[in-house]
Amino acid sequence: MSNPASGNPCVGIIANPVSARDVRRVIANASTLQLTDRVNIILRALAALRALGVRQVLMMPDKVGISSLLLRGLARERTLGNAMPDVAFLTMEITSSAEDTRCAVRLMRAAGVCSILVLGGDGTHRAVVRELYLGSTADAPRIPIAGLSTGTNNAFPEMRESTVTALAVGLHATGRIPAERALAGNKLLEIDVNGGAIRDIAIVDAAVAFDRFIGARAMWKPDNLHSLFLAFGEPTAVGLSAIGGLLQPVSPRAPGGLAIRFGDGRAGSAGAIELTVPFAPGLIRSVQIAAWTAIEAGQALPVDLPGGSMALDGERELVFAEGDAVTVTLRENAFPTVDVPGCLHFAAQHGLFRHPATSQ
């Protein structure tokens, strides 16, 4: 395939080495994607990118083993004579925390990547989007992301073969598909504590819990929930967004979101209804629902619990105390993603993968 690429496109890859490692493995037989599998996913994506003419890839480094296994894999491919992009690891301090993801996004943005391929769960994607959304100026180009699910119960990234996702990323990066056809806009929830003292986001769900500590992070006890805000929730989901999905589904592309108030089982006041949901993979639980309502973009909705914690996309992230003013605001078309099916349909329609037959 000839390469009409504008310049020398560079794609960023952020692979979370430790997603899908939390306590749900023990509580609910949640699966864990092995490092070797994660690296194989990346190698397949790299092969697809290279096939479309992407020669430069910037990779987040890690100390958990993705980098070292990937280097071994690339060396092997080179020895075998298989074409791969040049993979450069970002020069950055590795903290083995979500800060690595944020730092990698900053460096990738500075390096001018066309897009970022993200491997991980909702949490990893949230970290990437958070940095892109909160950390960029209004006039900066909005870097699209393409997600591959490796996490526990992911509503945001798609379960898709990385080869295909990478083909879509490659079609966009090399300019074969115009941005307006290749990309899609996404909603998010903006969280604000005390008028901007703390700002955070969730790309799927923001859950308010009675717990006032972070602990093992994962949110897996339905009894501790106070309320829930959803950017979207589909009935086929697993996890917090499934609660909305089974009550009143909102798709990722539709306008508006959902707010849910749980029955405070603790105070003895039962909810209006009881809903059975797949709370985590393999963990079907009943939750008490007191009320739910559709929400519109742009409205700052207050969290009316005097002290508690918020789980953003499934992980307890922030603790607030009595007197803290916490609001949640839905934003639409807040960040772009590569529309993988859209890109490939476009490619098919326009014959982007067709070539004149080679004479024998």
Partner 1 sequence: MAANNPFPLSRDALLGCYRRMRTIREFEDRLHIDFGRGDIPGFVHLYAGEEAAAVGIMSHLGDGDRIASTHRGHGHCIAKGVDVGAMMKEIYGRKGGSCEGKGGSMHIADLSKGMMGANGILGAGAPLVCGAALAAKFRGKGEIAICFVGDGASNQGTFLESLNLAAIWNLPALFVVENNGYAESTSRDYATAVNSYVDRASGFGLPGVVVDGTDFFAVHEAAGEIIRRAREGGGPSLLECKMVRFHGHFEGDAQTYRANGELEDLRANHDCLKKLAAQLTSAGVASAAELADIDRQVLALIEQAVVDAKAAPLPSAADLLTDVYVKY
Q: What is the DSSP string of 34-52?
A: -HHHHHHHHHHHHHHHHHT
The distance from CA 197 to its chain's CA centroid, rounded to whole angstroms, is 24
The phi, psi pair for 186, rounded to 5°, reads -130, 155
Of 15, 35, 128, 167, the one binding partner 1 by CB under 8 A: 35
Residue 34 found at the interface with partner 1 (CB under 8 A) = yes
Residue 32 found at the interface with partner 1 (CB under 8 A) = yes
Contact characters 213-232, partner 1, x per CB under 8 A: xxxxx---------------
Q: How big is the chain, counted in residues?
A: 360
Residues that bind partner 1 (rule: CB under 8 A) add up to a total of 28
Of 8, 29, 269, 276, the one binding partner 1 by CB under 8 A: 29
Of 11, 13, 15, 22, the one binding partner 1 by CB under 8 A: 22
For partner 1, which is the closer residue by CB, 221 or 354?
221
Residue 285 found at the interface with partner 1 (CB under 8 A) = no
Q: Looking at 32-40, 172-180, 270-278, 293-301, which segment touches partner 1 (CB under 8 A)?
A: 32-40
**Which tokens go with 358?**
């080679």
Q: What is the DSSP string of 315-326?
A: EEEEEE-TT--E
**Which tokens go with 69?**
């296994």
Residues 6+ positions from 243 with CB-CB distance below 8 Å: 228, 230, 233, 260, 275, 277, 287, 289
Of 141, 178, 235, 307, the one binding partner 1 by CB under 8 A: 307
**Which tokens go with 42?**
């990346």
Q: What is the DSSP string of 60-78?
A: ---SSSHHHHHHHHHHHHH
Q: Looking at 30-38, 141-149, 238-246, 331-339, which segment touches partner 1 (CB under 8 A)?
A: 30-38
Residues that bind partner 1 (CB under 8 A): 17-18, 21-23, 25-27, 29, 32, 34-36, 63-65, 68-69, 96, 211-217, 307, 319
